[in-house]
Amino acid sequence: MADDLELRFERTVQSEARIEPRDWMPDGYRKTLIRQIAQHAHSEIIGMQPEGNWISRAPSLRRKAILLAKVQDEAGHGLYLYSATETLGADREDLTTKLIEGRQKYSSIFNYPTLTFADVGVIGWLVDGAAICNQVPLCRTSYGPYARAMIRICKEESFHQRQGYELLMTMMRGTQQQRDMVQDSVNRWWWPALMMFGPPDAESTNTEQSMAWRIKRDTNDELRQKFVNMSMPQAEALGVTFPDPELKWNEERGEYDFGAPDWDEFWQVVKGGGVCNEQRIAHRRKAHEDGAWVREAAAAHAAKNAVREEGAA
């Protein structure tokens, strides 16, 4: 019986059809998905902080509106992704606890600080750009609710990316001080953006099984190469350079060659040693704990209302 179910699951996945919440699925598949989607949801929520850092100081009202709307979208993405985990039996409160206790991860990129307003543009262009490269294949991932959430998220992310790039274009047309600010920001974010695709394939522990289950569609190194290939013409159009002396077109391969990120820094940040790791979690923990009495009050009010309605009926 179990073998039949497993066979049916395997066939569904192999035929590129979707697994839906009520379908049988192996425990490992369910756990891997919850881990991956929760990590993605946490990344959206923690990701509100580095950009949120500039809302109060945005240098024009139009940029303030764009940034506030963008950070609001990230909260929305977190919300749909937590909902997707709930279709697998997870619980948002429990996942939030795991995040603030450091038992689940979020994208390490958000442990880097946002130091100038140009960072808002560069995050849109490179960080959201790298996220889109990672996420577009997930629109075809085997788990239906995740795939559908990703379609919506990718559409909104591509708006964000355009807005980020447009900010940089505008700044590059401005004063020399602004152009220097953009280049400095690109210098700080380029390598961390490349790290967003994860460790080299040879060291990536989760890739093989996730590819077989069609949870993941491309390897880390394939996506990283794709991102570099896409980013170069963008940088040229913008008038900035990437801080990599090995970056050059390889006629033979028809792709760009590029250097390796500093993987020691990557692991240091992943393991909690980044500039902002503690701050990001402390911020999230404070919001969650400060809001506990509000959530309790809402639940108590709803319970009282239910009793009152029963009494009235």
Partner 1 sequence: MSFDNAYESLLGGEDAHWAFGTGFSEALSGVDREFPAGVDREALAAYCLMLGDDALIFSQRLSEWCSRAPELEEDIALANIALDLLGQARMLLTRAGEVLGRDEDSLAYLRDEREFRNVHLAEIDCGPGPGGDFATTIARLLVFSSWRLALFSRLRGSADPVLKAIAEKGLKELAYHRDHAAQWTVRLGDGTDESHRRMQAGLERVWPFVDELFATHAVEAALAGVAVDPASLWSEVDGVLEAVLSAAGLTRPTDTKAARVAGMAGRDGVHTEVMGYLLAEMQHLHRSLPGAVW
Segment 42-101, which members bind partner 1 (CB under 8 A)? 45, 48-49, 52, 55-66, 68-69, 71-72, 75-76, 78-79, 82
**Among 21-29, 101-109, 128-136, 197-205, the segment contacting partner 1 (CB under 8 A):** 128-136
DSSP β-bridge partners for residue 250 = 255
165 is an interface residue for partner 1 by CB under 8 A: yes
Q: Please report, as residue ranges, which positions from 294 to 313 form the binding site for partner 1 (by CB under 8 A).
A: 294-301, 304
133 is an interface residue for partner 1 by CB under 8 A: yes
Which two structure tokens, joined as six digits, stand for 15? Answer: 């035929």
How many residues belong to the site for partner 1 (CB under 8 A)? 71
Q: From the CB of 256, what's the least distance to partner 1, in Å?
A: 14
Q: From the CB of 3, what's the least distance to partner 1, in Å?
A: 35
User: Quick one: which of 281, 280, 44 has its CA closest to 160?
Assistant: 44
x/- letters, 238..277, toward partner 1 (CB under 8 A): ----------------------------------------
Please give the torsion angle defined by the CA atoms of residues 153, 49, 116 and 60, in that order, rounded to the nearest 10 degrees.
70
**Among 6-14, 230-238, 246-254, 271-279, the segment contacting partner 1 (CB under 8 A):** 230-238
How big is the CA angle at 78 (ends 108 and 138), to the nearest 5 degrees?
Answer: 75
**Among 9-17, 31-39, 156-164, 196-204, the segment contacting partner 1 (CB under 8 A):** 156-164
Q: Binder to partner 1 among 19, 88, 109, 171 (CB under 8 A)?
A: 171
Q: Binder to partner 1 among 173, 180, 263, 278 (CB under 8 A)?
A: 173
Q: Give the whole-angstrom CA distance, residue 274 versus residue 219.
A: 25
- 89 vs 233, which CB is nearer to partner 1? 233
- 7 vs 65, which CB is nearer to partner 1? 65
Most distant CA atoms of the chain, gap in Å: 79
Give Cβ neighbours of residue 122 (< 8 Å, ≥ 6 apart). 164, 168, 182, 185, 186, 188, 189
Q: From the CB of 27, what's the least distance to partner 1, in Å?
A: 28
CB neighbours of residue 67 within 10 Å: 25
Q: Please report, as residue ranges, which positions from 25 to 44 form the binding site for partner 1 (by CB under 8 A).
A: none
How big is the CA angle at 249 (ends 248 and 252), to the nearest 5 degrees?
Answer: 135
- 5 vs 298, which CB is nearer to partner 1? 298
- 25 vs 153, which CB is nearer to partner 1? 153
How many CA atoms within 13 Å lie on the side-chain side of 148?
Answer: 11
User: Exposed (0-12), middle (13-18) or buried (19+): which is 268, by Cβ within 10 Å?
Assistant: middle
